[in-house]
Structure 1
Amino acid sequence: MSEAILSPTDTNADTDTDTVAAGQQRLDERTRRATVAFRRRKQQIWGARALLAVVVIGGWQWFTAAGWVDKFFYAQPSGIWNRLWDYFQNGTEFGSYPAQIETTMQEALYGFLIGTGVGVVLGVALGMNRFLAEVLDPYIKIVNAVPRIVLGSIFIVAFGVGMAPKVLLAAVLVFFIVFFNAFQGVREVDRNVLNNAKVLGASRWHTIRHVIIPSALTWIIASLHSAFGFAIVGAVVGEVLGAQKGLGLLIKSAQGNFDPYGVFANMFVIAALVLIVEFVIERVERRLLAWRPKVQSETVLV
Structure 2
Amino acid sequence: MRLFPNDKNLLLYHLLIFVSFIAFWKSLTAFDLMSAFFVGDPFIVFRRIIDWFLSGMIFRHLLVTLTETVVAFVIGSLLGLMAGLWLGLSESASRLASPYLKGFNAMPRVILAPIFSVWFGLGMTSKIALGITLVFFVVFFNVYQGVKEVSPVTLANARMLGASKRQLLRSVYIPSATSWVFSSLHAAVGMAFVGAVIGEYMGSAAGVGYLILQAEGLFDINGVFAGVILLTFFAIALDAIVTVAEKRLLHWQPRDAATVGGAVT
Name 2:90's counterpart in structure 1.
Answer: 129
CA separation in 1, counterparts of 2:138 and 2:259?
23
Aligned-residue CA RMSD (Å)? 2.1
- Deviation above 3 Å: which 4+ runs of structure 1? 297-300
Name 1:65's counterpart in structure 2.
Answer: 30
CA separation in 2, counterparts of 1:218 and 1:145?
25
Name 2:254's counterpart in structure 1.
Answer: 293
Q: For 1:244, give the aligned amino acid.
A: A
CA separation in 2, counterparts of 1:276 and 1:224?
13
Cα deviation for residue 197 of structure 1 reads 1.8
Counterpart secondary structure, 1:248: helix
Deviation per CA, 1:20-58, whole angstroms, max 9, x where unpaired?
xxxxxxxxxxxxxxxx98x97123332222111111101
Q: For 2:18, give the aligned amino acid.
A: A
Cα deviation for residue 294 of structure 1 reads 4.2
Name 2:47's counterpart in structure 1.
Answer: 82
CA separation in 2, counterparts of 1:68 and 1:294?
44
Counterpart secondary structure, 1:219: helix
Alignment of 1:49-64 (within 5 A): 49-64=14-29
Name 2:11's counterpart in structure 1.
Answer: 46
CA separation in 2, counterparts of 1:202 and 1:168?
39
CA separation in 1, counterparts of 2:172 and 2:24?
52
Cα deviation for residue 293 of structure 1 reads 3.1
Distance 1:158 1:63, change over 3 A: same
Unaligned runs of 5+ in 2: none
Alignment of 1:1-302 (within 5 A): 41-91=6-56, 96-294=57-255, 296=257
Counterpart secondary structure, 1:68: coil
Counterpart secondary structure, 1:43: coil
Distance 1:234 1:276, change over 3 A: same
Q: For 1:219, give the aligned amino acid.
A: W
Unaligned runs of 5+ in 1: 1-35
**Larger relative CO (CA 8 A, sep 6+): 1 or 2?**
2
Structure exhibiting the larger radius of gyration computed from Cα positions: 1
TM-score with structure 1 length normalisation?
0.82
Deviation per CA, 1:72-106, whole angstroms, max 9, x where unpaired?
11110111012112222335xxxx21111111011
Cα deviation for residue 297 of structure 1 reads 7.0
Aligned length: 261
Percent of residue pairs bearing the same amino acid type:
37
TM-score with structure 2 length normalisation?
0.93
Counterpart secondary structure, 2:7: helix
CA separation in 1, counterparts of 2:214 and 2:8?
41
Is contact 2:5–2:13 with CA below 8 Å preserved after alignment? Answer: no
Deviation per CA, 1:233-272, whole angstroms, max 9, x where unpaired?
1110110011120011111111111000110001111110
